[in-house]
Chains A and B, each alone.
Chain A
Amino acid sequence: SQTIHQWPATLVQPVGSPLSLECTVEGTSNPNLYWYRQAAGRGLQLLFYSVGIGQISSEVPQNLSASRPQDRQFILSSKKLLLSDSGFYLCAWETGWGAEETQYFGPGTRLLVL
């Protein structure tokens, strides 16, 4: 069966510091991978998605970047965090073929920028 991992689970970082959040998927190959941000009490904002190694699409301009160095690894980064980067970050995967496929979410990383 497929599983998705995210770490760290929680993170407190000062403004201006770098960020690296990691997401890995097990039990599938060539998945589509997604990064979402969820502000407190709000919906899901799609940040990035990737259909393959080295292929990143950005949905909104921002202070963040994403990379996919391996097939089942997706990394969210920032060189200098802003207060507004605080939130709950979710990684999701779906099979990379066919249509109408479900996205499955990881446990999330709660980021607090102080």
Chain B
Amino acid sequence: RKEVEQDPGPFNVPEGATVAFNCTYSNSASQSFFWYRQDCRKEPKLLMSVYSSGNEDGRFTAQLNRASQYISLLIRDSKLSDSATYLCVVNMGGYQKVTFGTGTKLQVIP
């Protein structure tokens, strides 16, 4: 089993739609979790950290389920500019190891 798994997609959704991505991780000792966004041939950029209590930033909501070992990202009212690859990142803590998922590609269609 991969350490971090994501559905690669692509997810093709119309503008205004709500879309959700999941990411599962295998190591129960993982301590911190993030969603990054990567545009084509660009570096990943931090979208949001993910906390146990769940957190929201505008149209984006991230949640962590430690019992089931997955994190999720919900995007409401999708915009064309949301089209990108969304990377799930899991950190075991400190500098031990940061692991990336393979990314989920989102394409928002006019």
Q: Do A and B bind each other?
A: no
- Interface of A with B (CB < 8 Å)? none
